[in-house]
A and B are shown apart, each in its own frame.
Chain A
């Protein structure tokens, strides 16, 4: 497994789309706070929530779809998946090595704004824009956790689609519209409503308000920590079973 992880990590660090996404986000992270005039007077948690986390939750969460297309699906279209699958390694291990490294890539992308943009904001607008450490660290942890959960879902669909263009288009639309779609389904099929309302799609926006939970209940822990982990495991298993039975063209 170690050699598979090293191989995938090597490919991720040589993946142009990964670096393009990182540079775009870092560039934005430094440029946007410079242009912010309306932020004057907004401080602490509200600044972080309103100017950093909201952009991350609404827009940046779509970016891993691009990485999924180039890092996973393109292996099929380039033909490199043939040499991976015929390498004599177990398909389950191959899939999980890919998923784990892809998840790390997604977490890196999702953490750029909270780290660099918040850092740039402190430099440009002063320490008053810095949120409470407790709130900040909780969001960093949850963003990484949700990133790997979404990565697991994206890897599953990228394995089905096997074409980078199709995978990127589908995943962007899916991630963008999933909330509305799930809300609609939840309203129509009542017994699914509790599952849907606790899904990572519905709870991810609540990370912005996580500072308002003073005392974490068991349900909060399950919702914000348990569900992303369970999602990662379930889609990881589904994806690996799919890949195990998949004929590579």
Chain B
């Protein structure tokens, strides 16, 4: 039995002069939740569009459910549920009607799956309300319901939690975990909300300027998580110069919100706090931290700014 749901082989896509995807070798294991991370325009959506058959590769190939032939790959797409660049809804139809149109498209027998799927995403009581009058969160849920129709084995979700309120985010996260753990559905999920992805994904792929920089498991990410001192003072510029002059290191970062991440002296934080207070700086936050997905991603693609 094939261990991988999806494997790409030097997959490339060129739009006029721009290489949107450059020789990407990505593999998604059956049963995993694959967090696909990248900035806007990094190539996430391009890869998803190639896999789902909305666009065609310029070079390279891919294997879907072990199928390599174009016709069989297309047939295998029947086993996939998708949300691509936002939920695809008919605005003048109700939730039930939207699902019914997609049920017929997918050739799923029996209408009972419509109510069951709507209940799964918490949209069972929307009645005659048309999709155009739904909140963004409700639209996302309806999009997810459409993707879940027909019990797919592989879910491809492009930004599925955009627009959801905090409770909605938690509910969708729990739902995706349940689908993965109880039903064994493999999930490819791209999201800008990296903190949320961190709570969900078992594997990560980092893409930048069309190139897959790295693939790693959640465990590997935790092991790689570099520790640092999180410092917030009343004057970050002065703090930076104090660290450089008094602690004789420039192994730190000044974040846009003024927080300084110092990657040395983690074992001797007292030395740092003493140096800062001695220079008259008021310490507002001071704690040792592990590196989260966001920090790791930012560093991996080349960092933000350096003090």
Contacts and interface: CB of A to CB of B under 8 A. Distances in A.
Contact of A85 (B53, B80, B87, B104): B53
B21 to A, nearest CB: 13
Interface stretch (B92-100, B210-218, B276-284, B293-301): B92-100
Given A14-B90, A88-B80, A83 B102 contact: yes
Contacts of A81: 88
By CB atoms of chain A within 10 A, which of B79, B93, B101 has the most? B101
A88 B77 CA distance: 5
A166 interface: no
Contact of B90 (A80, A82, A87): A80
A215 B146 CA distance: 56
Interface in B72-92: 74-80, 82, 84-92
B134 interface: no
A81 B88 CA distance: 8
Contacts of B85: 79, 82
A88 B52 CA distance: 8
B252 interface: no
Interface string B100-114: 111011110000000
A84 interface: yes
Interface string A1-35: 01110110011001110000000000000000000
Nearest to B93: A14
A15 B82 CA distance: 24
A86 interface: yes
Nearest to A17: B92
A83 B78 contact: no
Contacts, number: 84
Given A87-B78, A247-B55, A248-B55, A11 B88 contact: no
Interface string B113-148: 000000000000000000000000000000000100
Nearest to A4: B105
A55 interface: no
Nearest to A70: B92
Contact of B54 (A10, A16, A82, A88): A82
A88 B90 contact: no
B55 to A, nearest CB: 4
A10 B94 CA distance: 13
17 contacts: A2-B107, A3-B106, A7-B102, A7-B104, A14-B97, A14-B101, A78-B89, A78-B91, A81-B88, A82-B52, A82-B84, A82-B85, A82-B88, A83-B82, A86-B54, A87-B78, A247-B56
A3 B104 contact: yes
Contacts of A82: 52, 54, 82, 84-85, 88
A86 B53 contact: yes
Given A88-B76, A247-B55, A83 B90 contact: no
Contact of A78 (B55, B75, B88, B107): B88
Interface residues of B, number: 33
Contacts of B107: 2-3
Contact of B106 (A14, A85, A87): A87
A88 B105 CA distance: 10
Nearest to B13: A247
Contacts of A10: 100-101, 104
- Nearest 10 pairs between A and B by C-beta? A88-B78, A88-B77, A3-B107, A7-B104, A86-B52, A7-B105, A248-B54, A83-B88, A247-B55, A79-B88
A128 interface: no
Nearest to B50: A247
A87 B77 contact: yes
A83 B84 CA distance: 8
Nearest to B106: A87
Nearest to B100: A10
A4 B91 CA distance: 20
A78 B53 contact: no
Contacts of B102: 7, 83
Contact of B105 (A14, A84, A247, A248): A84
B75 A88 contact: yes
Contact of B92 (A7, A16, A245): A16
Contacts of A245: 56
A78 B101 CA distance: 15
A90 interface: yes
By CB atoms of chain B within 10 A, which of A2, A4, A83 has the most? A83
Interface string A187-225: 000000000000000000000000000000000000000
Contacts of A86: 52-54, 77, 80, 82, 84
A80 B93 CA distance: 13
Nearest to A245: B56
A7 B149 CA distance: 14
A87 B146 CA distance: 11
A119 to B, nearest CB: 30
Contacts of B92: 14-16
